[in-house]
Structure 1
């Protein structure tokens, strides 16, 4: 008995046109999100239904050869394992897919030379635009995009010179909400666990922390902050140890990032201190599962999915040439109160100093 062939046949535009009773050019327009508006809605729906029924798939490579376009957008992230970027990627990819674009994600780390190398490689592959979640305050990748005329937008972080459109969260408002919260609880000795000064989020949140402290007449002559070298749990623990060594009287820590806040949890545990009984901690970002850590983290919630969608919209406008102006979209964050913050207890600073003295005695 002869075997039936398992090889799937290729469905053509002509076959879809015959099934939908339209001209092949109408099928091409209806199946391309960028030109679908040229086709009557009822006809477009009929074409899409026929294509789905027949199992038609667009040949993007062939389309790219015909039109000189790849319909590919690159997105650079500094650490794909950092769950902050997952909803940003999701929001951007969903919006781009609706317009017929595919997203290529590159995990490029913090090395600017590596970032530039990857961007150059993407450019040779006819990438149509870039969404950069990696930008530093003065960034060579931005220089490259401008020199090459490559459409690009920034997300989550901004460049100091504002040479490209960006979608960011309101860092100043977020820090104000965090400081207001711990002050309202009764804390006065408040420290800031800062991010790297080389990126806008580290720089702006540190500056906003001191602005908020000044509003409450709480700014000290000695800076109450320690800067981490990167946004990671390990760097957060290192910076918190330095912070506690410098000032054992602090009763609250406002961190520039949730991972830094988790590092603060680790440093407190090492020293026999408890959160929030000894020191309250506030994070920033509301990364996934921050409600599941112990204690659940009070933090500043950022609309990461919305950041991604807005960045994709801006990039699509740049690719089409609809909006050549540089725009800065700022989304408002909100405070999420959980169990890592509480009112300072009587003698809290004294207990913190006592814990440090005990550790010193044991070490000696």
Structure 2
């Protein structure tokens, strides 16, 4: 008795028959490298047929035919940082339907770790890279560019190297946070920045200073934490809390983890949030609204950033020219219990 398509693994021939096209056309439509050879209407019909049949590409066979590993390297600074897993999920969500897999490398935020991760991934013959490394390591990224490796930068840039960058619109997020506190009556704000060798830390600190200058009578002070961590947030905030004569009533942290450190330091010093001092984070990591108090923060579209970076990389792998463009996705200020009227 012959098995039906539903009872066995669907083949490209099955997909082609359901879509009403030749098997070669179906194969090209499902391959990011060759999709441009097929009309958009045909691609849509083939993709819908593949989903209906639960078709899974034979990645090994395709790799042998195209001299491709069908893998993409993803470099991140710290997999334990809750900011990065949604980005990776976004990347995988776009890669998998196209037959690609992601290899994740963690740098632990060190430049040497970043170079080692890039080298390890290239040794595994990945087809391209999505790099969100913690350090602004321009030399290793420049070497990849000179070697013709397809790369998309994510969240953190690499200086003048002309690769595309996908990030959230940090400047608009900082501006919204400053404006929110200003409208609540705060006139002296503190920004706790991350290390300045990280591009997002430098960009958010610069955006904070610019935003403060745009409001009459608003004073802005910047303090630098030595890491993007809760512990670093505590260490940066405790000296501020030891002398409240400066009149700071609102804090905008570079990341939510630093903001948690700020809240922890305030609790340790008996400073109430938001009665005595308001706090705003950045990123809106999972559970931010479950903190005590619920954390006001700038929501960054992490999953969408991962999807967009993967789209750009697969476009490049299919033959499209890489353009040194910066794509900034919109961010949103989420106002919760950690902000309130300024204490006088």
Give the TM-score normalised by structure 1.
0.81
Distance 1:325 1:180, change over 3 A: same
The aligned runs of 1:4-19 (5 Å cut-off) are none
**In the comparison of the two structures, how many residue pairs are matched?**
333
Query: Rg bigger for which structure?
Result: 1
Query: 1:134 matched to which residue of 2?
Result: 133
Query: 2:259 matched to which residue of 1?
Result: 261
- Tell me if structure 2 keeps the 8 A contact 1:135–1:158: no
The aligned runs of 1:202-221 (5 Å cut-off) are 202-218=201-217, 220=219
Once the two structures are TM-superposed, the CA of residue 24 in structure 1 deviates from its matched residue by: 6.3
Q: Kindly provide the CA deviation profile for residues 94-135 of structure 1, in whole angstroms up to 9, marking residues without a partner as x.
A: 112232211111122111112212211211221011111115
- Tell me if structure 2 keeps the 8 A contact 1:64–1:70: yes
Q: Which moved more, 1:89-98 or 1:10-19?
A: 10-19
Instruction: Give the alignment partner of residue 229 of structure 1, picking from 221, 226, 230.
Output: 226
Mapped to 2, the partners of 1:182 and 1:49 lie a distance apart of: 48
Confirm or deny that 1:275 pairs with 2:273. yes
Mapped to 1, the partners of 2:133 and 2:43 lie a distance apart of: 40
The aligned runs of 1:1-364 (5 Å cut-off) are 25=24, 28-29=27-28, 32=31, 34-35=33-34, 38=38, 44=46, 48=50, 52=54, 58-134=57-133, 136-218=135-217, 220=219, 224-245=221-242, 247-248=244-245, 249-346=247-344
Mapped to 2, the partners of 1:46 and 1:215 lie a distance apart of: 51
Mapped to 1, the partners of 2:24 and 2:243 lie a distance apart of: 72
CA-atom RMSD in angstroms: 3.0
Mapped to 2, the partners of 1:232 and 1:238 lie a distance apart of: 10
- Tell me if structure 2 keeps the 8 A contact 1:191–1:254: yes
Query: 1:353 matched to which residue of 2?
Result: none
Distance 1:49 1:266, change over 3 A: closer
Once the two structures are TM-superposed, the CA of residue 276 in structure 1 deviates from its matched residue by: 0.5
Give the TM-score normalised by structure 2.
0.86
Distance 1:278 1:69, change over 3 A: same
Query: 1:355 matched to which residue of 2?
Result: none
Q: Kindly provide the CA deviation profile for residues 129-176 of structure 1, in whole angstroms up to 9, marking residues without a partner as x.
A: 111111534433312311321110111112232521101112221111
Once the two structures are TM-superposed, the CA of residue 187 in structure 1 deviates from its matched residue by: 0.8
Once the two structures are TM-superposed, the CA of residue 279 in structure 1 deviates from its matched residue by: 0.8
Distance 1:207 1:29, change over 3 A: closer
Task: Give the secondary structure class of the aligned counterpart of 1:153.
Answer: strand
Once the two structures are TM-superposed, the CA of residue 320 in structure 1 deviates from its matched residue by: 2.2
Mapped to 2, the partners of 1:231 and 1:18 lie a distance apart of: 50
Q: Kindly provide the CA deviation profile for residues 168-212 of structure 1, in whole angstroms up to 9, marking residues without a partner as x.
A: 112221111111111110011211111110111110111111111
Q: Kindly provide the CA deviation profile for residues 314-347 of structure 1, in whole angstroms up to 9, marking residues without a partner as x.
A: 112222231332111112212111010110233x
Q: Kindly provide the CA deviation profile for residues 201-237 of structure 1, in whole angstroms up to 9, marking residues without a partner as x.
A: 11011111111111113465xx722111111111111
Once the two structures are TM-superposed, the CA of residue 71 in structure 1 deviates from its matched residue by: 1.1
Once the two structures are TM-superposed, the CA of residue 243 in structure 1 deviates from its matched residue by: 2.6
Distance 1:320 1:176, change over 3 A: same
Query: 1:349 matched to which residue of 2?
Result: none
- Tell me if structure 2 keeps the 8 A contact 1:34–1:100: no
Q: Kindly provide the CA deviation profile for residues 61-85 of structure 1, in whole angstroms up to 9, marking residues without a partner as x.
A: 3332232111101111111111111
Query: 2:3 matched to which residue of 1?
Result: none
Query: 1:7 matched to which residue of 2?
Result: none
Q: Which moved more, 1:89-98 or 1:272-281?
A: 89-98
Mapped to 1, the partners of 2:192 and 2:44 lie a distance apart of: 57
Mapped to 2, the partners of 1:187 and 1:45 lie a distance apart of: 54
Which structure 1 residue ranges, 5 or more long, are not aligned? 1-9, 347-364
Distance 1:224 1:246, change over 3 A: farther
Mapped to 1, the partners of 2:51 and 2:162 lie a distance apart of: 44
